[in-house]
Amino acid sequence: MTKVIRYSLGLMFVFFITMSFFMIFIPDAILVLPGSSWTIEQMAEWRLRTLLPAFYLTICYFIYRYFSGRNPTSTIWPILIIIFFFMMTQIISLFNNYFSWIQFLSLLITIIVFLLLREAHNRRKNEIFNKPL
């Protein structure tokens, strides 16, 4: 399972760094997800209803954690929270947005990534708390 987690995190890193560079330097290249048959406007609305709320909810969560005096329990925790809120906004978007197979595929991938990150977080947390002094 450790190899699966490491491989998945490596793939996520490559995907997110590639998407970040495309969005910064060549945004026209990824206006619409390939194979989704959505228009640019539909894709913009999907991003508006899923990515931005997930981003804002994550910020609110960590501000709350700061005021409550709690720190993340592992380095994976912030990534897990971002994916969790993205998963929640995708589920809500299924009922408020255009229906397409790409939404279900994206949600399925997000759920799998969430479960892998949860396992990675639990393992890292156990390493931290069970470390001999």
Domain ranges, ordered by start, for the chain: 2-129
pLDDT tens digits for range 23-53: 788 877 777 766 677 788 888 888 888 888 8
Could you give the CA distance from residue 6 to residue 10 in angstroms, rounded to a whole number?
6
Strands (DSSP E) along the chain, which ranges? none
Predicted local confidence at residue 114, as pLDDT: 92
pLDDT value at position 95?
Answer: 79
Supply the mean pLDDT for the chain: 82
pLDDT at 93: 81
Q: Give the pTM.
A: 0.73
Say yes or no to pLDDT of 131 above 70: no
Residues 6+ apart with CB under 8 A from 46: 38, 93, 97, 98, 103
What contacts 118, CB < 8 A, 6 or more positions away? 80
The terminus-to-terminus CA distance of the chain in angstroms comes to 27
Task: Output the six-digit token pair for 71.
Answer: 């720190």
Task: Tell me the pLDDT band of 133, cut-offs 50, 70 and 90.
Answer: low
pLDDT in tens, 73-125: 677 788 888 899 999 988 888 877 666 777 888 889 999 999 998 988 888 87
